[in-house]
């Protein structure tokens, strides 16, 4: 990853097809689009690849998260369990939905642990936002059983894990609703874009309406459509969908390349004393966008991270101090800073996010480094990278 590494004539042709023969708005304008429906075509391909009944494209992964919450009936005052290690959008979407984020511990999958989820459940818990971080998956069997036991909505945030799977099922397709991001640095990109996937008729009907001001999308006269629910504008454009369509056709090749490149580096690093790797519940389903490894102590991890940079091993992320991906660095979330009053400000017994304590997660993340796996590496570049890594550990 990311998919922009392999932009080629296919992407240019899809975009040119819209500009020369179609129309940029995703709905209606039938007479001038000459049968070009890029968003619909990409949605159909997503359904096929992910093995689901429904897919709906929208403007971003964040929009997908907020749409999934609304479509699944998650709203004012509902508690949603979320990990402290994720992209900040996972939390922002919950707050903007009027719901309440409740942070729970992760395990060495780097995703929510079954034990962490159980410990965080209260009578107000309505959903689990299960984030498949860095291209791999959580312990889905145990977590799905917990959600079924407590009648909780299982939302799979697979924004970083498109192309991954668990026991043959696509990540994002196992819970009630799944979300993808197709932004500029994801495994496949629309430039900006995202998707909701589901097998639930009601969630799908709510999703496509919610993302277009409540339009029911019945008939071919937009002005005559009904609006059975309220919504927002999270529409994707045909230009973004066209780019994503070309990228989606390459997904299988992208995943195969990532897995090959990752396996070479992981094999070399497995010989380094003190290095262990994240737990992957189904290694065959790893999308392989990152190689994540752990070291014995926080001090050693900080040292190695600096040595990797010194040796020119780029694309390494020490998430524990990252501004965008770990709770302890989110001062704006901890203090609920916003330009306007939010629904959560009206909840008197809301959590004090300045006092959230996740010691197990802190221990794991303070010893963890993730290495981006690129698509464009040559065999010579991979071998040179391995030599540089070995020098960093010497």
Q: Which residues are catalytic?
A: 186
Q: Is 290 left (phi over 0), alpha (psi -120 to 50) or beta?
A: beta
Q: Minimal CA–CA distance to 368: which of 313, 292, 287?
A: 292
DSSP string, 262-287: HHHHHHHHTTSTT-EE---S-GGG--
Q: Is 185 left (phi over 0), alpha (psi -120 to 50) or beta?
A: alpha
- HSE at residue 300, side-chain half, CA atoms within 13 A, is 13
Residue with tokens 């689009």: 33
Q: Is 380 left (phi over 0), alpha (psi -120 to 50) or beta?
A: alpha
Token reading at 179: 């979300």
Q: CA 138 to CA 130: how far, in whole Å?
A: 8
Q: CA 340 to CA 333: how far, in whole Å?
A: 14
CA distances from 146 to 83, 176, 214, 237, 242 (A): 16, 14, 33, 38, 39
């Amino acid at each position: 990853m990311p998919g922009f590494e392999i932009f080629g004539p296919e992407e240019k042709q899809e975009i040119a097809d819209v500009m020369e023969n179609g129309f940029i708005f995703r709905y209606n304008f039938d007479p001038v689009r000459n049968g070009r429906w890029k968003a619909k075509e990409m949605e159909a391909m997503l359904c096929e690849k992910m093995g689901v009944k429904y897919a709906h494209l929208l403007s971003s992964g964040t929009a997908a998260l907020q749409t999934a919450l609304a479509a699944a009936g998650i709203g004012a005052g509902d508690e949603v369990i979320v990990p402290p290690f994720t992209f900040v959008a996972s939390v922002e979407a919950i707050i903007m939905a009027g719901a309440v984020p409740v942070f729970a511990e992760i395990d060495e999958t780097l995703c929510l642990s079954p034990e962490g989820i159980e410990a965080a459940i209260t009578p107000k818990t309505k959903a689990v936002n299960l984030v498949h971080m860095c291209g791999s998956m959580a312990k889905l069997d145990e977590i799905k059983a917990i959600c079924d036991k407590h009648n909780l909505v299982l939302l799979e945030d697979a924004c970083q894990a498109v192309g991954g799977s668990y026991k043959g099922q696509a990540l994002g397709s196992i819970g009630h609703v799944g979300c993808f991001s197709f932004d500029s640095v994801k495994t496949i990109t629309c430039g900006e874009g995202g998707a909701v996937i589901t097998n639930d008729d009601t969630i799908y009907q709510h999703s496509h309406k919610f993302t277009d001001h409540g339009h029911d999308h019945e008939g071919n006269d937009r002005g005559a459509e009904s609006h059975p629910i309220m919504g927002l504008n999270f529409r994707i454009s045909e230009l973004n969908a066209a780019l994503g369509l070309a990228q989606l056709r390459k997904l299988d090749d992208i995943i195969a390349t990532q897995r090959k490149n990752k396996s070479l580096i992981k094999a070399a690093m497995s010989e380094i004393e003190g290095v262990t790797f994240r737990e992957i519940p189904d290694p065959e389903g790893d999308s392989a966008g990152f190689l994540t490894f752990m070291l014995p102590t926080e001090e050693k991890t900080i040292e190695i991270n600096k040595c990797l940079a010194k040796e020119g091993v780029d694309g390494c992320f020490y998430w524990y101090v990252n501004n965008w991906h770990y709770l302890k660095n989110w001062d704006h979330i901890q203090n609920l800073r916003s330009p306007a009053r939010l629904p959560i400000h009206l909840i008197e017994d809301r959590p004090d996010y300045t006092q959230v304590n996740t010691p197990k997660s802190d221990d794991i993340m303070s010893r963890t480094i993730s290495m981006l796996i690129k698509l464009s590496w040559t065999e010579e570049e991979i071998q040179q990278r391995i030599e540089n890594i070995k020098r960093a550990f010497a």
